[in-house]
């Protein structure tokens, strides 16, 4: 072996190493994605959470938990623009049962916050629950955070998320004009302040930047009904497809990757998923995801 | 006092507080307002059932007299409350005599010539504008800034006080702190009315108020009279007690606001208000002919030049949803500011000069500051005269405010050849009035890439302005809404007014 070949071999090995190591790790710790199906939405939400290890795996007694649904649009629950209120409520109930000190539910809405909170049905579904907050966003709570990402160097994020012990991401699965679909990774936009439209110019990389900073401990995707077109706010019941499914995973990319298949697409079709996977935020290869149906 | 309280309560509830309908709003005060009624009749030359209460008020005034001013008018009550604290010099001579008619007649005559400006001098409108445009936002801003400062001081600990703050905010404070044009001017007019108390009590009411003048004139026909008519020789206490008249020693019926202070305060118990024969002491039915004619002519002279409006202003003349024609709208609008107060996203602002002199204080949609919320119909609900029609949500969604137009020099996919389409995402029309097509372009960095270029589907655009509002381009948006002449509604099929199309609450059950 001459010197040139040696260098080549070493170079190749160095390049391959991360991939090989990741492969090896993946075999040991394959991400689970749980899919629960049924028409009793609280029951399937509970089933899905229990199958990824139960809420006690994430929430310890005395924790402050943020449950972040989609409730950005002034649309009723049937139109699949917002997370189903029963799914949100069940996640919140599970957090409380696991001993959470406080559960905070909010979204930085696109339409008028008052109308979104009311018309999504979420505010009403949480009404009267103890130790649960469903407050509007207060702009003074946005804190400039250094992200050191590839596109976003810094951005304003909501301090209640930053200071929480557990962050649970509860998006609804729906179509989106620019990112094709909006799922867990995109739902993180609801904790961002500032001129959010700005990130549209490099959406997939920007979302990877934010998701790399804000760790989602548990992703619960509401696919009880999905919005198949004219997303992200829809408005026509004909665009809504009822699937009666709830998806749960500790791996946000894996959860998104599986949810993509519900729309008849491949994970690789969604640039946001691909960018997050490349960033090492999770697994998007369906062959390497362990699917559990309950 | 009761009516001032009612007024303030209604003022506060004229806001979205979690329900799509507002049952009671401060518009009730305008709907009983005879001046609003009369100028509406003269200008619009039709009748609306919304103003039926004002007709009843006219009848009640004919029967009882000028009780509105002493009992109902919230501005009058405020004057009564502050006037004891203001030391009086002597009355202004200039304001005596026919001044009030010189205000009332031109207003009415201008209305006849299609310029309805009576709202400018209507006391309730003056009060409401002062409150809406300056005092209420000031209150909201102060409370909010305090709350934010508290956060800076004690951070998360502020949460312990949150329930109390939320209670106040949810029930009393404005949801959003908005700054309005003309705010200072509106408040100054209100302050000026109060400052007039320096010269005599109820100075505005006696000598200027066109509503009071109108009601006073109507009240002359009332069969009820104060007995005795004049000041008793042995007492004269009435001079002190009476807030409005009696400076001449006789009761001027037109100016008597039936506050009953004289009856309550009379040491001898001599005074009563009861039906009696007509008084001889009444002045002429109408002021001299020259005042009448002069008023008419000045109304005409006012009406014609005020309608001048430079043409380029027309493009941004966006009216609230449901308003189909500019002329009709101007004839009916009271300029009370209620629509602007209630507007969910603060899309409505008073016109200062954009709509010409005749359009001062009329509401304009300024999409860059706020957009018209798709499922909201509040402005039409609170409009006292129906200038903004009160229509169901399904119909309102189709009403055209204007049409959106892209400015390719600013819009990112065109100007910078990068992706954006925030506007398409926010367009509330289910079928999307903004769509995009994927095109291959050579970026300015030389690389070939696919970019989504947006376009407007004009037939189904209702001009709500959310696209312009959310456009991430700074200051000037890459898409703007322009006024259009033809405001016929977009087709029913575009908004899918099926069973979920109506904004209705979710049909799911919680249990």
pLDDT tens digit sequence for B24-74: 778 889 999 999 999 999 999 988 889 999 999 999 999 988 999 999 999
A277 and A138 co-located in one domain: yes
Residues 6 or more apart from A232 whose CB is under 8 A from it? A72, A73, A81, A174, A175, A176, A177, A182, B425
Q: Name which of B17, B373, B507 is nearest A112 (Cβ-Cβ).
A: B373
State the Cα–Cα distance between residues A247 and A251, nearest whole angstrom: 11
Please answer whether residues B356 and B313 qualify as being in contact, where contact means their C-beta atoms are separated by less than 8 angstroms. Answer: yes
Encoding tokens for residue B2? 């009761």
A120 and A161 co-located in one domain: yes
Provide mean pLDDT across the span B209-213. Answer: 94
Q: In chain A, whose CA is at the least distance from the CA of B159?
A: A133
Q: Per mean pLDDT, which range of A273-277, B268-272, B318-322 is the poorest?
A: B268-272
A8 and A130 co-located in one domain: no
Best probe of the A interface among B160, B422, B433, by most A CBs < 10 A, is: B422
Question: What's the confidence (pLDDT) of residue B278?
Answer: 59
Question: What's the confidence (pLDDT) of residue B291?
Answer: 84
A151 and A54 co-located in one domain: yes
Q: What is the percent of chain B where pLDDT is above 90?
A: 49
Nearest CA distance, A23 vs chain B (angstrom): 32
A96 and A13 co-located in one domain: no
Question: What's the confidence (pLDDT) of residue A20?
Answer: 57
Encoding tokens for residue B187? 């408040």
Provide mean pLDDT across the span B166-179. Answer: 85
Please answer whether residues A192 and A157 qualify as being in contact, where contact means their C-beta atoms are separated by less than 8 angstroms. Answer: yes
| CB pair distance less than 8 Å for A121 and B506 | yes
Which residues of A fall within a CB distance of 8 Å from B505?
A: 76, 118-119, 121
A149 and A82 co-located in one domain: yes
| CB pair distance less than 8 Å for A76 and B503 | yes
pLDDT at B11 over 90: no
Question: What's the confidence (pLDDT) of residue B499?
Answer: 43
pLDDT at B311 over 60: yes
Question: What's the confidence (pLDDT) of residue B308?
Answer: 78
pLDDT at B365 over 90: yes
3-state secondary structure A123-171: HHHHCCCCCEECCCCCHHHEEEEECCCCCCCEEEEEHHHHCCCEEEEEC
pLDDT grade for B277, boundaries at 50, 70 and 90: low
B488-497 pLDDT tens trace: 999 888 887 5
pLDDT at B446 over 70: yes
Q: What is the pTM of this model?
A: 0.88
Question: What's the confidence (pLDDT) of residue A211?
Answer: 96
| CA-wise closest residue to B354 among B382, B330, B386 | B330
A170 and A215 co-located in one domain: yes
State the Cα–Cα distance between residues A125 and B510, nearest whole angstrom: 6
Q: Comparing B6 with A64, which gets the higher pLDDT?
A: A64
Question: What's the confidence (pLDDT) of residue B283?
Answer: 60
ipTM rounded to 2 decimals: 0.86
State the Cα–Cα distance between residues B349 and B360, nearest whole angstrom: 11
A150 and A221 co-located in one domain: yes
| CB pair distance less than 8 Å for B506 and A178 | no
pLDDT grade for B157, boundaries at 50, 70 and 90: confident
State the Cα–Cα distance between residues A21 and A16, nearest whole angstrom: 9
Question: What structural domains and CATH numbers belong to chain B?
Answer: 397-500 (3.30.70)
Provide mean pLDDT across the span B150-158. Answer: 86
Question: What's the confidence (pLDDT) of residue B503?
Answer: 41
CATH classification of the domain holding A69: 3.40.50.11440
A10 and A47 co-located in one domain: no
pLDDT at B309 over 80: no
Q: Per the omega criterion (within 30 degrees of 0), is the bond before B228 cis?
A: yes
Which residues of B fall within a CB distance of 8 Å from A177?
A: 421, 424-425, 436, 452
Q: Return mean pLDDT, chain B.
A: 87
Question: What's the confidence (pLDDT) of residue B171?
Answer: 82
Residue A26: give the domain boundaries. Answer: 1-30
A191 and A172 co-located in one domain: yes
Domain count, chain A: 2
pLDDT at B247 over 80: no
A249 and A146 co-located in one domain: yes
pLDDT grade for B285, boundaries at 50, 70 and 90: low
pLDDT grade for B448, boundaries at 50, 70 and 90: very high
State the Cα–Cα distance between residues B452 and A23, nearest whole angstrom: 36
State the Cα–Cα distance between residues B446 and B36, nearest whole angstrom: 65
Q: Comparing B88 with A34, which gets the higher pLDDT?
A: A34
| Ranges of chain A with pLDDT below 50 | 26-27
Q: Per mean pLDDT, which range of A67-71, A90-94, B147-151, B231-235 is the poorest?
A: B231-235
A35 and A20 co-located in one domain: no
Question: What's the confidence (pLDDT) of residue B22?
Answer: 82
State the Cα–Cα distance between residues A166 and B137, nearest whole angstrom: 38
């Amino acid at each position: 072996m001459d010197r040139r070949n040696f260098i080549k071999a070493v170079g190749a090995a160095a390049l391959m190493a991360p991939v090989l190591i990741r492969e090896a790790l993946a075999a040991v710790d394959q991400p689970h994605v749980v899919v629960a199906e049924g028409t009793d939405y609280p029951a399937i939400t509970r089933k899905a959470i229990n199958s990824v290890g139960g809420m006690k795996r994430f929430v310890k007694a005395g924790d402050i938990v943020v449950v972040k649904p989609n409730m950005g649009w002034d649309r009723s629950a049937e139109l699949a623009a917002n997370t189903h209120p029963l799914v949100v409520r069940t996640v919140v109930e599970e957090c409380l049962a696991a001993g959470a000190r406080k559960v905070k539910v909010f979204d930085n809405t696109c339409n008028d916050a008052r109308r979104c909170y009311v018309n999504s049905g979420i505010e009403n579904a949480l009404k009267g629950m103890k130790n649960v907050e469903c407050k509007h966003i207060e702009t003074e709570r946005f804190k400039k955070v250094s992200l050191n990402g590839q596109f976003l160097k810094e951005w304003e994020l909501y301090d209640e998320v930053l200071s929480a012990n557990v962050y649970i991401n509860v998006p609804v699965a729906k179509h989106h004009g620019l990112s094709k679909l909006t799922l867990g990774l995109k739902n993180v936009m609801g904790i961002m302040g500032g001129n959010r439209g700005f990130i549209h110019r490099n959406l997939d990389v920007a979302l990877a930047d934010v998701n790399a900073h804000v760790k989602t401990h548990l992703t619960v995707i509401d696919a009880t009904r999905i919005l198949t077109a004219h997303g992200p706010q829809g408005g026509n019941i004909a665009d809504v497809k009822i699937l009666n499914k709830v998806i749960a995973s500790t791996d946000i990319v894996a959860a998104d990757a599986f949810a993509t298949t519900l729309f008849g697409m491949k994970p690789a079709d969604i640039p946001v998923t691909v960018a997050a996977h490349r960033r090492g935020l999770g697994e998007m290869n369906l062959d390497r995801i362990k699917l559990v149906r309950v | 006092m009761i009516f001032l309280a009612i007024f303030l309560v209604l003022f506060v509830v004229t806001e979205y507080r979690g329900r799509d309908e507002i049952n009671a709003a401060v518009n009730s005060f305008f709907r009983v307002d005879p001046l609003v009624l009369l100028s509406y009749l003269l200008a619009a030359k039709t009748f609306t059932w919304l103003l039926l209460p004002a007709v009843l008020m006219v009848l009640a005034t004919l029967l009882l007299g000028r009780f509105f001013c002493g009992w109902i008018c919230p501005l009058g009550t405020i004057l009564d409350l502050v006037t004891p604290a203001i030391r009086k010099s002597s009355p202004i001579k200039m304001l005596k005599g026919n001044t009030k008619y010189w205000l009332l007649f031109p207003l009415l005559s201008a209305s006849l010539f299609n310029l309805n400006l009576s709202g400018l001098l209507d006391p309730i409108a003056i009060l409401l504008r002062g409150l809406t445009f300056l005092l209420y936002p000031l209150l909201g801003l102060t409370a909010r800034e305090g709350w934010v400062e508290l956060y800076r001081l004690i951070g998360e600990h502020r949460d312990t006080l949150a329930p109390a703050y939320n209670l106040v905010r949810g029930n009393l404070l404005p949801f959003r702190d908005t700054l309005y044009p003309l705010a200072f001017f509106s408040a100054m007019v209100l302050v000026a009315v109060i400052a007039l108390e320096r010269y005599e009590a109820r100075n505005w009411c006696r000598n200027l108020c066109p509503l009071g003048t109108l009601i006073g004139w109507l009240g002359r026909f009332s069969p009820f009279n104060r007995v005795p008519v004049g000041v008793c020789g042995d007492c004269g206490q009435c001079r002190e007690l009476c807030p409005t008249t009696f400076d001449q020693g006789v009761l001027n019926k037109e100016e008597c606001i039936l506050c009953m202070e004289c009856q309550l305060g009379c040491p001898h118990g001599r005074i009563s208000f009861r039906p009696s024969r007509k008084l001889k002491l009444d002045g002429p039915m109408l002021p001299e002919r020259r005042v009448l004619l002069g008023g008419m002519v000045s109304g005409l002279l006012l009406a014609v030049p005020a309608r001048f409006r430079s043409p380029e202003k027309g493009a941004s003349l966006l009216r609230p949803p449901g308003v189909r024609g500019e002329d009709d709208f101007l004839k009916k609008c009271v300029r009370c500011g209620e629509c602007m107060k209630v507007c969910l996203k603060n899309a409505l602002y008073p016109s200062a000069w954009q709509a010409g002199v005749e359009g001062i204080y009329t509401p304009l949609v300024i999409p860059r500051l706020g957009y018209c919320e798709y499922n909201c119909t509040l402005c039409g609900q609170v409009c006292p005269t129906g200038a903004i029609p009160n229509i169901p949500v399904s119909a309102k969604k189709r009403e055209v405010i204007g049409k959106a137009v892209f400015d390719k020099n600013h819009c990112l996919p065109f100007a910078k050849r990068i992706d954006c389409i925030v506007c398409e995402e926010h367009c509330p029309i289910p079928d999307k009035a903004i769509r995009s097509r994927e095109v291959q372009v050579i970026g300015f960095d030389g690389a070939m890439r696919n970019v989504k270029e947006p376009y407007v589907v004009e037939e189904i655009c209702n001009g709500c302005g959310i696209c312009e509002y959310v456009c991430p381009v700074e200051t000037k948006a890459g898409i703007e809404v322009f006024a259009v002449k033809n405001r016929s509604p977009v087709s029913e099929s575009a908004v899918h007014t099926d069973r979920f199309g109506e904004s209705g609450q979710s049909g799911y059950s919680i249990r």
